[in-house]
Amino acid sequence: MKIHRKVLLLEIKNFLLGKTVLIGAISLLLFGLYSFYHGNQVISQQQQTITTVQSVQRHHLQEIVEHGTGKAVGTTAYYPFFYTTNPASPWAKFSIGQRDVNPFTLKVKMLAIEGQLYDSELTNPLTLLVGNLDASFVFIFLFPLLIIAFTYNVLSEEQESGVWKIVRTTGNNMGAAIAGKLLVRLAIILAVTLLVFAAAIISLRLPLSMPTFELLTVVILYMLFWFTVSLLVIALGRSSSFNATTLVCIWIFLAILFPGIANITVNNSIRVPEAAETAIRQREGYHAKWDEPKKPTMEKFYAVYPQYRKYPIPDDKYSPGWYYAMQFSGDLESANSSKKLFDKLMQRQTLSEQIAGFNPVIAAQQSLNKIANTDLTSHIRYLQSVKAHHRQVREYFYPFIFEETPTESIDWGGYPAYHPNQYVDEPIFRGVMAILIWVIGSLGAALMLFNRNFIKIKDIQNA
C-alpha cells in the first residue's frame, strides 16, 4: 500500500490548520500543567511531613524520658510513640493513587499493635471523594476525549460533504487514502502524548530509569487502545454524530460505569468485617487478662520469648513484665482475624486485577499506580513493615522492662531504626498484556470493517 507523499502532506496541513487540534492540544497541555502542579503539591507536602518525623520522634522521646526519670523502664515504656513513614516513590507525583487516602506516617506504641494499624490520616473527605487531578488522570481520562475529538469525523465528514464520492471515482487506492488520513492523526496524538509526557518528566522530575519508561509504555499502549477503538467505530461507516455519540458512550461506560459496577462487585464478593473484629478481639484479649490468673498469660508469652522465664512475675501484684505479656497476648488472640483481613485485601487486589483484564481503563490505572507504588498492595506492604518495626521496638525494650532498669539508664533511641520500604518494581506484565490484547483485537476488527464498508464496496450507480 503506497501512500502518496503529497497527499499525506496536504492531509497534515489540513488537519493541523483545523481549530480542533489546536484547542484540544492546548487545553490538554494546560490540564497537564495543572496536574503536575497538583501532583507536586500533594506529594511534596507529604514528603515535607515525613522529613519532620525524625526530629518529632527525637523530641518526643526526650520528653518522655524527662518525665520518666526516676521510674522504671516498664512504667515509662507505656508512653512513647514510635513513628514510621511511607515515603513516596519519585513516580507518586505522576499517579497519586491511594496515597491521599491511606496514612503515610503511622505511630505505634509498644502496646498491642492491631488497634493501632488502621489510624487514618487527617484529610478532608470531600477532597478524597473528588479525587486528584494528577498526571495519570489527564492521561487516563482526558486524553481519550482528545483522541475521540481528533478521529470521530475522519471519514464521515468527507462522506457527508460529498468529497468521498469524488475521491472514489478517481480510482486511487482507497486503503492508502484512509491509512494516510488515520496515520496523520495517530502521529499527532502520539506527538501530543509525548509532549505532555516530556513535560511531566521535567516538571515532576521523574528519573530517567526503568519505571519512567514503564509509565510511558502503559500510556502509549493506552493511547493506541483508544485510537483503535475510534478506528473500530469509524469503520462502521456511520455518520459523524453517530461516531461521536458512540465513542463518548464507550468512554463513559469504560471509565465510569464499568469501574463503578466492578467496585460494587469486588466489595460485595469480598467483604471485610475483620477490621472491626480484629480490634474488638484484641481489646478483649488483652483486657480480660487483668482479671485472670497471671500464669496462663505468661505461658503464652514464654512460648515465643522463653528467655524471660527466669524473671519472677509475682502472682498477687502488678508487674510491667506481665503488663506487656498481656498486650502481646491481645495481639496473639487477634492474629487470626488480622491475617484474614490482610488475605482478603490481597484477594480484593487479585479480583480487581482479573476484572481489569476486561477493561483497559482500569488496567492502565492499576498499572500506573503499581509503577508509582501508590496502590493498595504498597500500602499493605507498609502496614507489614510497621508491624515488623513494632516487634523490633518491643523486643529491644523487653529486657529492660523485665530487668526493671531505671528509665534514665538506658538508651531510648537505641532501638533498631525504622527502615522505610524500598521501591518495589512490581510486574505490570498482566496489565500491559490486557491492554495490548484489546489493541490487537479492536485493530483486527476495525481492519475487517474498513475492508467491508469502505474499500471493497462497489458503487453500483457509478459502475
Partner 1 sequence: MYIATPLHVHTFYVNAGATALQLINFYMHFRFITLVARQEWASIFRSKVPLALFTVLFVVALLATFTGWQYVSKFNHQQKAAHQEVHDQWMSQPNRHPHRVAHYGYMVFREKSPLSFFDFGLDSYVGNSVFLEAHRQNTVNMSEAGFSNGMLRFGELSMAMVLQLLVPLFIIFIGFQTVASLKLNGVLKLLLCQSASYLDILIGKITGLTAVVWALFLPLLLVSLLAGNLLITGDMSAEALLRVLLLTILYAIYFLIITMLVVIVSAISKSAKNALMVLVLVWMLFFIVIPKSAQTLGSSLHRAPDKIAFEQAIEEDVSKQGDSHNPDDPHFASLKANTLKKYNVDSISQLPVNYGALVMQEGENISSGIFNKHFDRLVDIYKAQNSVSSILGFADPYLAIRNISMNLSGTDFDSFTAFQKQTEKYRFEKTKKLNEIHLTQIKYQNDSKQKVSAKNWQQQPDFSFQPLAFSENLAAGTLGMAALILWVFASLGVLIFVSSKRAYQI
CB of 318 to partner 1, least distance (A): 7
CB of 159 to partner 1, least distance (A): 13
**Which x/- pattern over 269-308 shows residues binding partner 1 (rule: CB under 8 A)?**
--xxx-xxx-xx--xx--x--xx-----------------
Assess 128 for contact with partner 1 (CB under 8 A).
yes
**Comparison of 421 and 451: residue with beta carbon closer to partner 1:** 421
**Span from 6-14, 203-211, 331-339, 342-350 in contact with partner 1 (CB under 8 A):** 342-350
CB of 6 to partner 1, least distance (A): 30
Show contacts with partner 1 in window 178-237 (CB under 8 A): none
- Which one among 213, 302, 318, 358 touches partner 1, defined by CB under 8 A? 318
Assess 267 for contact with partner 1 (CB under 8 A).
yes
**Comparison of 127 and 307: residue with beta carbon closer to partner 1:** 127
**Comparison of 127 and 169: residue with beta carbon closer to partner 1:** 127
The burial of 194, by beta-carbon neighbours within 10 Å (0-12 exposed, 13-18 middle, 19 or more buried), is given as: middle
Rg value, the chain, Cα:
30
**Comparison of 269 and 422: residue with beta carbon closer to partner 1:** 269
Show contacts with partner 1 in window 434-463 (CB under 8 A): none
- Which one among 130, 208, 303, 463 touches partner 1, defined by CB under 8 A? 130
For residue 35, what is its C-alpha cell? 496536574
CB of 173 to partner 1, least distance (A): 29
- Which one among 6, 17, 171, 268 touches partner 1, defined by CB under 8 A? 268
Assess 41 for contact with partner 1 (CB under 8 A).
yes
Assess 51 for contact with partner 1 (CB under 8 A).
no
Binding footprint of partner 1, residue count (CB under 8 A): 85
Show contacts with partner 1 in window 364-393 (CB under 8 A): 365-366, 369, 375-377
Assess 362 for contact with partner 1 (CB under 8 A).
yes
Q: List all residues 6 or more positions away from 94 whose beta carbon is below 8 Å from its beta carbon.
A: 39, 134, 135, 136, 200, 204, 206, 215, 368, 372
**Span from 175-183, 205-213, 267-275, 303-311 in contact with partner 1 (CB under 8 A):** 267-275
How far apart (Å, rounded) are the C-alpha atoms in residues 316 and 312? 12
Show contacts with partner 1 in window 133-172 (CB under 8 A): 133, 137, 141, 145, 149
Assess 47 for contact with partner 1 (CB under 8 A).
no
What is the phi/psi pair of residue 441, to 5°? -60, -50
**Comparison of 128 and 448: residue with beta carbon closer to partner 1:** 128
For residue 152, what is its C-alpha cell? 470521530
Assess 423 for contact with partner 1 (CB under 8 A).
no
CB of 244 to partner 1, least distance (A): 6
Assess 248 for contact with partner 1 (CB under 8 A).
yes
CB of 230 to partner 1, least distance (A): 15
- Which one among 238, 348, 381, 391 touches partner 1, defined by CB under 8 A? 348
Assess 91 for contact with partner 1 (CB under 8 A).
no
**Comparison of 180 and 367: residue with beta carbon closer to partner 1:** 367
- Which one among 14, 44, 52, 307 touches partner 1, defined by CB under 8 A? 52
CB of 166 to partner 1, least distance (A): 21
> Are 212 and 201 contacting, i.e. CB atoms less than 8 angstroms apart?
yes
CB of 185 to partner 1, least distance (A): 17
